[in-house]
């Protein structure tokens, strides 16, 4: 094998490694984005469960009057849910 052929082989291997590195980086970015979205969805689910835990007993007891603070909080949670789901 000539020196030129060896250099060509090394260059090709280097290009292959760069390509594989780029693919792995994209996969890591996708995984990080998926984890971030899952974390947001979990936090949102916890907030929704908390709100339902406060509203449901009032409803069952027949004491559900219009509470503007709860309406405002519900609107905020709805907006956050749309953001997490990508339904802006």
pLDDT digits (tens, 9 = 90+) for 44-69: 888 888 887 777 666 666 665 666 67
Give pLDDT tens digits for 10-52: 999 999 999 999 999 999 998 998 999 889 888 888 888 888 7
Distance CA 45, CA 81 (A): 9
Query: How many angstroms separate the first and last alpha carbons of the chain?
Result: 61
Compute, in degrees rounded to 10, the torsion defined by CA atoms 40, 45, 47, 53.
Answer: -170
For 25, the domain range is 3-85
Q: How far apart are CA 78 and CA 33, in angstroms?
A: 22
Backbone angles phi, psi at 77, to 5 degrees: -65, -35
Question: What distance in Å separates the CA atoms of residue 14 and residue 11, rounded to the nearest whole number?
Answer: 5
Domain total in the chain = 1
How high is the pLDDT of residue 12?
92
User: What is the DSSP secondary structure assignment for residue 5, as one 8-state letter?
Assistant: H
């Amino acid at each position: 094998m000539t020196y030129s052929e060896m250099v060509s082989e090394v260059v090709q291997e280097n290009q292959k490694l760069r390509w594989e590195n780029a693919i792995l980086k994209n996969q890591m970015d996708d995984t990080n984005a998926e984890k971030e979205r899952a974390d947001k969805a979990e936090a949102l689910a916890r907030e929704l469960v908390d709100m339902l835990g406060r509203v449901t007993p009032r409803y069952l007891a027949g004491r559900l009057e219009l509470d503007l603070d709860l309406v405002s909080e519900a609107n905020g949670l709805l907006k956050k849910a749309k953001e997490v789901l990508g339904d802006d």
